[in-house]
Amino acid sequence: MYLIGGTTHGHHQIEMQCAACHTSPFGGGEVLQEACVDCHGDELKVANDSHPKSKFTDPRNADRIDILDARYCVTCHREHKKEITGEMGLTLPKDYCFGCHENVAEKRETHKGLAFDSCASSGCHNYHDNRALYEDFLLKHAVGDVLKDKAERLRLNGLENFLANRDAPQQVSALMDAPEEYNNDPAVEEWQLSSHPSAGVACRSCHQDGSTGDWHEKPNAMICGTCHQSQMSGFLAGKHGMRLKAGLSAMTPAMARIAMKDSASHLALSCTSCHSPHDVNQQSAGFEACVGCHDSSHVNNFANSPHAGLMEQARRGEIPDTQSVDCATCHLPREIIEEAGEKIVRVNHNQNDNLRPNQKMIRTVCLDCHSLAFAIDSLADPALIQSNFSGLPTSHVRSIDMAVERDEKANQREKVF
């Protein structure tokens, strides 16, 4: 009842924790800016920001602040403002580009006649990071097969090495320190075949209370973060875990603003919602766990999509598992990170990271398998997204065409001179 307006898709989970953003009752823009950067700072650091704060703090550009004070996130991204809240909860005035670039059509013939609010359409401009949309990138990927031959995703090198070299169950039985009544529990055999024993993780490493020594049959799932810090950090940054990070109760599907299955509405989301704590089953975590809760048309149509066909082929052993495509392939993509001087492959557990596919997913996911043109057109077709890409795009975005035409004219001028 105290909210000054509706909360967006990205923040409604923590709307009762006002202090998550309003850290001081007397704070102004600087306090809110600090709150934004606290959660989204890492994302901005890795972005090739075409409008960095430094552009607007430069005295030579002081006039720009009068038009758009982009020193502060809240200049464009205003929470509790339904009138500027778009798809997927992004708060942004539709005319924010027009304020500075109203004369762009005079400089670029290709932009004549374009609507003032079409700058951020699929395949065009992204305010913070245009790495997939710069003209040189568009030209580089202007030609390419719709589907790349034998496209593969990254292997989880640490897990793959373990699965290939794991110890036999009898060699790790000494770590089985659960109470005797669990000796014949199926979970024990699952644990023996998992990566935990090889890493010296005994039963009581997770099931024992650190202060009392008591056995807990169902330990708090946050115990996973003791060893899996990066995965836990990603989980807490996304919609699934952000309530836990804010000190609130766990998110449940019943709290979601998108379609969820009634049968899953009561489930409290944690690591073990998707991962069994005792075995290594990426297939279940990457598909079954997702469809167990989500009930949108996009999710429900996956079973009949070309992507699902690849997943089933991999499960039957007809193609390598690295050619499989499930929910996690796109929404929790694998990425290369450097840790202790070694490059390793990890799963990005922050499913918010590329949730705006037109701006973010093309470069990090779609291009692994598809041409840039096909990816841009597909993501510009709402019906195709709803069908989970069962078919070909019916719309066409001219961004690549514009870049090619502009390049050809430039080359012609060079030949003349």
pLDDT in tens, 124-139: 888 888 877 788 999 9
Mean pLDDT of the chain: 86
Percent of the chain scoring above 90 in pLDDT: 33
Whether the predicted pLDDT of 292 surpasses 90: yes
Better-predicted residue by pLDDT, 314 or 121: 314
Q: Mention every residue, 6+ apart, whose C-beta is less than 8 A from residue 68.
A: 56, 75, 76, 96, 99, 100
Lowest mean pLDDT, pick from 176-190, 225-239, 287-301, 320-334: 176-190
Whether the predicted pLDDT of 5 surpasses 50: yes
Which residue in this structure is represented by tokens 């997913």?
361
Mean pLDDT within 342-351: 89
pLDDT at 315: 93
Q: Mention every residue, 6+ apart, whose C-beta is less than 8 A from residue 372.
A: 132, 137, 138, 141, 142, 144, 362, 400
Whether the predicted pLDDT of 92 surpasses 90: no
Lowest mean pLDDT, pick from 68-77, 171-180, 214-223, 231-240: 171-180
Whether the predicted pLDDT of 296 surpasses 80: yes
pLDDT at 173: 64
Q: How confident is the model at residue 373 (pLDDT cuts 50, 70, 90)?
A: very high
* Euclidean distance between CA atoms 307 and 323, whole angstroms: 10
pLDDT at 375: 93
Long-range contacts of 155-162 (CB under 8 A, 24+ apart): 155/322, 155/345, 156/282, 156/334, 156/345, 156/346, 156/347, 157/344, 157/345, 158/344, 158/345, 159/195, 159/280, 159/282, 162/195, 162/198
Whether the predicted pLDDT of 195 surpasses 90: no
Whether the predicted pLDDT of 157 surpasses 90: no
Q: How confident is the model at residue 165 (pLDDT cuts 50, 70, 90)?
A: low
Lowest mean pLDDT, pick from 52-56, 88-92, 381-385, 403-407: 88-92
Q: How confident is the model at residue 170 (pLDDT cuts 50, 70, 90)?
A: very low
Q: What is the reported pTM?
A: 0.86
